[in-house]
Structure 1
Amino acid sequence: MDDLDKEVILPRNALSFTDKVQMFLTILPAPVIIAWALLKSPFTAYGRSKSWKRIVIDRVTLRLVSGMSRKQIRAFFGPTSKAYSDFINSKKLPPVVEDVGEDARLFWIGPKNADRVLLYLHGGAFVFGTTASSPAFWSYMQDNLEKKGKPTSTAILDYSLVPDKMFPTQLKQTVLAIQHIVGSGVKPENIQLVGDSAGGVLIHEVISHILHPVEGVPELSLSSPFGGAYMMSPWVRLRDTPAKVLETDREGRGDFLTRRAGMYWANKVLDGVPESAYPYLDANTAPDDWLRGMDKCVKRILISAGSAEVLRDEIIKYAKTVEKLHKETTTVIQENGIHVDPFFDFLVQEKDLGKLTPTILNWLDEGFHA
């Protein structure tokens, strides 16, 4: 597709001269910030557990997400189409793009002819696209599943961002993508939903929609449950008092996500959204039995968080709720991990991928039939 990475910039997303100056000033102190982070790294558990490349990229990301506005960070990282285009070009793969309706597209990594599918729902707080590391991560999973005798196709859903489109648009686009994949002949038990941060919220929304249909969103009726659902660092708490939305006792311990940034993004996502939508968007404020029956929607659940990430306690709380309602739930807390930690290993091309990435691979492998 010739216009794969050509994004139409709406007036609300266009950067002014002042915006560009502010972005420059945000980035300007990076060398000093990096030097200080490296100097103090031997004195923290997080710093001792990470390579110098990880310390650098984690600290720079913290500076970016905490210092830029919604449209600035969206412009800096670029659209999901650019991350996809950059990755497939680096691998010399042809673009495989399918429209699924409602301005949503599926970006396939390699051919889409396998009977097994990973459908990736990207993070970015619903306000910016995925980054270059996520296609690399899921390509790694795809390659290694094939080595295990489970050839798998992988699709990235390019969904609309806030505030261009608000809830339930992203849920509707996800449902249309699932219907498209099922309509192509893939059985639901051979589909595993995978998502990080806001993508984890989308997985929660899909399950919630099956159990509590949203008006205006197509009904999702499956012949069998999904084979699995993996939520990496799901953004399960958006709405609360500022002191509770994101835990503050781990701020400054390595995570790039801060309470202030999370609150700012959450306000964008929830702006004008009716209270009836909160159980779908704000998972940890849903009623205790909201997900009752989810075991009929998906066979297995994997939830992971980093021990150093700001959202850790909220993710553990959500996982415990899920565990009560679905016996095939696995929760993994990565020691010294931060928000969506495995992606950063791929961003800096780490050779040692730690324990979480192999755990995810083995879990996905077990979820696909031979």
Structure 2
Amino acid sequence: MMSGSQPAPSAANLAFFGSKVDNTVFAAISRLFTTPFRWNHWNGAPVLYKDVLFAAIRAMLSNLTIAQSRYLNKSTSETYQDFCKAISQEPKTVKLESGTTTAHWIGNKNADVVILFLHGGGYTQPCTPQHMQYFHRLVTDLNKLSDGTPSISVLLLAYTLAPEAQFPIQLKQAVSMLSYLLNEAGKSPMDIMITGDSAGGGLILSLLSHLLHPHPDIPKLSISMPLRAAFLYSPWVSFDTSHDSYTKNDVKDTLVPDILRKWAGSYLGTVDRETDPGVVVGGNNYSEPLLADASWWEGMHNIVKDMWIWAGENEVFLDSLRDFGAKFSDGWKVGGGAEESIKLEFGKNDAHIGPIMDVMLQYKEKSETQLGLEEWLKVRLA
């Protein structure tokens, strides 16, 4: 079902859509049956299961329009309703600004600590059920601790997707929801963690930028002390697809450069929604964090107490995230932040949003990265 106001594909488009689904299936089958010929010079994902599925995901992204890919999925709010039924939780929703800004609780809304979560999806796609499953498991397991650790829950922002809405609308909605937690829900900054994956991770960095350097088109939000922590999974920090890792990791990851450029252009409102601009223009320090100099991040330790930024060594974002991590870390430390309060981690043999991707691929056992993040969070909750 379509999310947002964009119409569903026409009958003709759906027929064409069917042929593109066939292309996706063919890509997966081809990847599987060519495995013996690639074995001695393997350059794909480290596990055959992932290699085949990643090929299918790349083919699907390359073959579907935004409208068609939306047709495959329910909206974030609809998915949340289904998710609540599956876990026997009563849906709990926050609506602000006459219903234009919406967020959904995963867990107890009266928990001691709230994680404000901004989901990925290239700013054009809704939150998946697997994102919700991942964070539900995370907070459920953390809430089992019996050492006096504060209780924790998640507030998922169902921000308006591009191309129906362009930046900075999504940032404005994130600021509004954080303001709600601080000024209406009675939370102090130290009761709040913030997190996001991919595009959502980029939006978290936009939010942090706004708190440090208020965006001229968005109401200023002042905080009396730093937020408790921020943790980001493969944040989308650059719309430039010329980094070497786009070539080195092109068949190890799930993302496709021309689709990323199309999504970025749709988010910024600089191109037609289904046009690859070739080079994305119009980004700034708020929307494209890698464009900011290290000095931009000086003083960030006054905005958030601890930072964890994760990237996979097999993802196309790798080079941009290494560059961003160096800039951010330099600004953090020069501005007076403690070096031990920021952690940059690169997952060996991991692709884009590896910890969440493992849930999407239905792995039951927790990965080393998932367990490592839990340990990091336990320290920040103590």
With structure 1 as the length reference, what TM-score do the two structures score?
A: 0.89
- Listed one character per residue, the Cα deviations across residues 141-171 of structure 1 (whole Å, up to 9, x for unaligned) are 1011112243201111011111211111111
Q: Which residue of 1 aligns with 2:263?
A: 265
Q: Where do 5+ consecutive residues of structure 1 fail to align?
A: 1-5
Instruction: Tell me, yes or no, if structure 1 residue 301 matches structure 2 residue 339.
Output: no
Q: In 2, Cα distance between the equivalents of 1:310 and 1:15?
A: 30
The 5 Å alignment of 1:1-370 reads 9-10=4-5, 12-39=6-33, 40=35, 43=39, 44=42, 47=45, 49-50=46-47, 52=49, 54-101=50-97, 103-148=100-145, 149-182=149-182, 183-238=184-239, 240=240, 243-244=242-243, 247-253=246-252, 255-272=253-270, 278-326=284-332, 327=339, 328-369=341-382
Q: Where do 5+ consecutive residues of structure 2 fail to align?
A: 272-280, 333-338
Change (3 A) 1:76 1:245: farther
- Listed one character per residue, the Cα deviations across residues 218-240 of structure 1 (whole Å, up to 9, x for unaligned) are 211112101111110011101x4
C-alpha deviation, 1:15, in angstroms? 1.4
Kindly, what percent of the aligned residue pairs are identical?
27
Equivalent residues of 1:171, 1:205 under 8 A apart = yes
Q: In 1, Cα distance between the equivalents of 2:263 and 2:229?
A: 28
Equivalent residues of 2:230, 2:308 under 8 A apart = yes
**Secondary structure, counterpart of 2:286 in structure 1:** helix
**Secondary structure, counterpart of 1:161 in structure 2:** coil
- Listed one character per residue, the Cα deviations across residues 160-185 of structure 1 (whole Å, up to 9, x for unaligned) are 11121111111111111111112312
C-alpha deviation, 1:294, in angstroms? 0.7
- Listed one character per residue, the Cα deviations across residues 6-58 of structure 1 (whole Å, up to 9, x for unaligned) are 86752x443123331232112113443333333428834754x4373x44543
Q: In 2, Cα distance between the equivalents of 1:202 and 1:246?
A: 22
Equivalent residues of 1:197, 1:232 under 8 A apart = yes
**Count of matched residue pairs:** 358
Q: In 1, Cα distance between the equivalents of 2:87 and 2:47?
A: 27
Q: Tell me which moved more, 18-27 or 31-40.
A: 31-40
Q: In 1, Cα distance between the equivalents of 2:283 and 2:88?
A: 42
Structure 1 residue identity aligned to 2:375: N
Change (3 A) 1:237 1:277: closer
C-alpha deviation, 1:247, in angstroms? 2.2
**Secondary structure, counterpart of 1:108 in structure 2:** strand
Equivalent residues of 1:94, 1:110 under 8 A apart = no
Q: In 2, Cα distance between the equivalents of 1:172 and 1:270?
A: 14
Structure 1 residue identity aligned to 2:80: Y
Change (3 A) 1:266 1:245: farther
C-alpha deviation, 1:207, in angstroms? 1.2
Q: In 2, Cα distance between the equivalents of 1:206 and 1:342?
A: 23
Q: Which residue of 2 aligns with 1:3?
A: none
Equivalent residues of 1:246, 1:259 under 8 A apart = no
**Two-structure CA RMSD over aligned residues (Å):** 2.4
Structure 2 residue identity aligned to 1:94: E
Equivalent residues of 1:46, 1:308 under 8 A apart = no
Equivalent residues of 2:4, 2:161 under 8 A apart = no
Equivalent residues of 2:4, 2:164 under 8 A apart = no
**Secondary structure, counterpart of 1:98 in structure 2:** strand
